[in-house]
Amino acid sequence: GKPARSAARAVRKFVSAGGRLVVLDQRRWDWPELVDFALGSKTSSRAFPYARARHPVLANVGPEFLKRLNGEPGTAAERFVAGAVLKAPGLKKLLWIAQPRYPVLVSLPVDEGEVIICTLQLNGRLARSGGRYDPIAERLLLNLLCRRSGQS
């Protein structure tokens, strides 16, 4: 709604000053005032790191654990990051599905901060009491939310 859209300038200022904005598992995105990107449709049960992908978000997440998110059958992602954002200066592609042309985790530097766009489906795998609990999903979420000083 209007109040949320009016916050875009304040959020961008926060990010520019060293904050981190995480856009997580969106079905659609129509807030270009905040960050301008598109979503493509592609479903996969596996995610893979790009060659030489280095970022604190991937800390303690071995590539073998991404192959089926805890070895369980199911969907890892149904969407990928698309659009002009992929050509933005400094953008880091971190994870992909199906083929490297389908990124599902990217980091975009914004002055002193960063925007992270992640289309992995982590939400349904976070409850420890549920049958779909996944420690790798939990680790990725913690890494997304916790910014380590001196790293981006």
- Please compute the mean of the pLDDT values over residues 38-43 and round it to a whole number: 96
Residue 41 contacts residue 28 (beta carbons within 8 Å): no
What integer best gives the mean pLDDT of the chain? Answer: 87
- Please compute the mean of the pLDDT values over residues 79-101 and round it to a whole number: 96
Cα–Cα distance list, 10 to 13, 15, 16, 37 (Å): 5, 9, 10, 19
- Please compute the mean of the pLDDT values over residues 128-148 and round it to a whole number: 84
Q: How confident is the model at residue 128 (pLDDT cuts 50, 70, 90)?
A: confident
Coil, helix or strand for 48? strand
pTM: 0.90
Q: How confident is the model at residue 131 (pLDDT cuts 50, 70, 90)?
A: confident
Residue with tokens 């596996």: 46
User: By percentage, how much of the chain surpasses pLDDT 70?
Assistant: 90
Instruction: Supply the pLDDT for residue 151.
Output: 43
